[in-house]
């Protein structure tokens, strides 16, 4: 009986969320697309809430370089609060409905031309990156210090946690894919990548300041990560690896006079990191979008059929969102795992030839 009462109260509370749609009804209907992309893409400020139409934000610095007027550094407060048609120092933020640069900082040049300046603003995602960086340093460095101070002492619980996390990646992902002698060389990069992605994913799921930046669901970030793997694979790849690309063991007509196989191999070196980039980006973005859509659904239904239906939808929607968020926690780990595992496999493949060559020589 008590349990039943509790369940009913919970349902009613969930339905209360739908009452918000009553409020939304009075205003213009929700623009779902800009709502979702406004939350999942990068931004110039941390939007917390709105009180009486005034946004409550954490403002971040805007750093831009314009070809005409040089460097500009100012708080995003100035441009975020502009009315339509106004500019601050010749800059304004394009609306989310803008077809070319939605939500980006635009410049109106003295000649009246509108263009995108070089934008080095410390955006929401940049903030998210440095938050994760700071967290990683704060999490791993004290452990390293403790180990350095007392390498053979009994590890504390905190050290045990760090050790467990590190060795989960090291023994589970890195060691099986990379030749043993090369592990110390590449493990630092792969460990850093794993925990960077993992913490970014997790922080991205926490919906309030200072978390909630959709870092790994942004192509720029996954591009840099994929680039790092590309460098690690190809710059540190050994002679054997390059020989396999430029002069593979295939019939002569496939590599001379038209270097068909070398071209395919070269392209494949690019497609590997490209796939890494897209996979991580798409998975995380999709997760965020699904959660946002489920949230928006309450207001869409509420707008269409009234607050009652909105309330009813909110019950289902919120259950689905809880489920999706739990799923996203899993995805956060899986995607970090997959990225690291594929990176180590690619790196391992670029390192392996040497040892098999040695074996051949011995024979």
Partner 1 sequence: MELFLPESGLMIWMLIGFLIVLFILAKVGWPMIMGAVTKRNQHISDSLLAAEEANNALAGIEAAKEKALADSKAEQLRIMNESQELKKQLIEEARQEARNEAEKIVADARLKIQKEQAEAMSQIKAEVITLSVDIAEKILQRELSDKEAQTEYIEQLLKDRPQIEA
| 313 touching partner 1, by CB under 8 A | no
Alpha carbon 47 to its chain centroid, in Å, reads 18
Is residue 219 within 8 Å of 281, Cβ to Cβ? Answer: yes
| 191 touching partner 1, by CB under 8 A | yes
Span 120-149, contacts to partner 1 by CB under 8 A: 120-123, 125-126, 129-130, 132-133, 136-137, 140-141, 143-145, 147-148
Query: What count of Cα atoms within 13 Å lies in the side-chain half-sphere of residue 123?
Result: 19
Tell me how far, at minimum, the Cβ of 273 lies from partner 1, in Å: 13
CA distance 169 to 140: 14
| 187 touching partner 1, by CB under 8 A | yes
Tell me how far, at minimum, the Cβ of 88 lies from partner 1, in Å: 18
Alpha carbon 163 to its chain centroid, in Å, reads 25
- Four-CA torsion 132, 138, 143, 145, nearest 10 degrees: 130
| 326 touching partner 1, by CB under 8 A | no
| 337 touching partner 1, by CB under 8 A | no
Span 95-124, contacts to partner 1 by CB under 8 A: 100-104, 118-123
Assess whether the previous peptide bond of 210 is cis (omega < 30° from 0): yes
| 41 touching partner 1, by CB under 8 A | yes
Tell me how far, at minimum, the Cβ of 230 lies from partner 1, in Å: 13
Query: What count of Cα atoms within 13 Å lies in the side-chain half-sphere of residue 49?
Result: 4
Q: Which of 70, 85, 112, 151 binds partner 1 (CB under 8 A)?
A: 151
Name the residue with tokens 């540190």: 236
Angle between helices 183-205 and 124-149 (to 10 degrees): 130
In the bound state with partner 1, the residue whose beta carbon lies nearer, of 14 and 132, is: 132
In the bound state with partner 1, the residue whose beta carbon lies nearer, of 264 and 286, is: 286
Span 233-272, contacts to partner 1 by CB under 8 A: none
Secondary structure of residue 214 in the 3-state scheme: coil
- Beta strands in 241-358, from DSSP E residues, in sequence order: none
Kindly list the residues in this chain that would bind partner 1 in the complex (CB under 8 A): 37, 41-42, 63, 100-104, 118-123, 125-126, 129-130, 132-133, 136-137, 140-141, 143-145, 147-148, 151-152, 155, 162-163, 166-167, 170, 184, 187-189, 191-192, 196, 218-221, 223-225, 228, 285
């Amino acid at each position: 009986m008590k349990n039943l009462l509790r369940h009913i109260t919970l349902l009613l509370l969930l339905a209360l969320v739908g009452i918000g749609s009553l409020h939304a009804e009075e205003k213009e209907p929700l623009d779902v697309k800009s709502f979702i992309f406004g939350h999942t893409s990068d931004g110039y400020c941390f939007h917390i809430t709105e009180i009486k139409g005034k946004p409550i934000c954490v403002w971040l610095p805007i750093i831009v370089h314009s070809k005409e007027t040089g460097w500009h550094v100012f708080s995003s407060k100035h441009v975020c609060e502009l009315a339509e048609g106004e500019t601050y120092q010749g800059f304004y933020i394009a609306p989310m409905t803008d077809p070319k640069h939605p939500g980006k900082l635009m410049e109106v040049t003295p000649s009246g031309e509108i263009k995108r300046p070089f934008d080095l603003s410390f955006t929401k995602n940049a903030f998210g990156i440095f938050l994760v960086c700071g967290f990683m340093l704060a999490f791993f460095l004290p452990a390293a210090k403790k180990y350095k101070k007392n390498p053979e002492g009994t590890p504390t619980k905190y050290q045990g946690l760090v050790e467990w996390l590190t060795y989960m990646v090291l023994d589970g992902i890195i060691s099986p894919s990379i030749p043993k002698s090369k592990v110390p060389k590449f493990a630092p990069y792969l460990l850093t990548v794993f925990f960077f992605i993992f913490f970014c994913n997790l922080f991205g799921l926490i919906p309030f300041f200072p978390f909630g930046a959709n870092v790994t669901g942004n192509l720029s970030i996954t591009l840099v990560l994929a680039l790092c793997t590309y460098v690690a694979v190809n710059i540190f790849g050994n002679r054997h690896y390059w020989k396999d690309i430029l002069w593979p063991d295939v019939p002569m007509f496939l590599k001379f006079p038209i270097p068909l196989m070398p071209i395919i191999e070269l392209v494949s070196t690019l497609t590997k990191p490209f796939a890494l980039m897209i996979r991580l980006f798409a998975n995380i973005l999709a997760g965020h979008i699904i959660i946002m859509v489920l949230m928006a659904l309450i207001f869409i239904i509420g707008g269409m059929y009234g607050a009652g239906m909105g309330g009813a939808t909110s019950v289902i929607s919120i259950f689905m969102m809880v489920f999706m968020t739990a799923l996203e926690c899993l995805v956060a780990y899986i995607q970090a795992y997959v990225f690291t595992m594929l990176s180590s496999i690619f790196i391992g493949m670029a390192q392996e030839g040497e040892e098999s060559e040695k074996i051949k020589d011995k024979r």
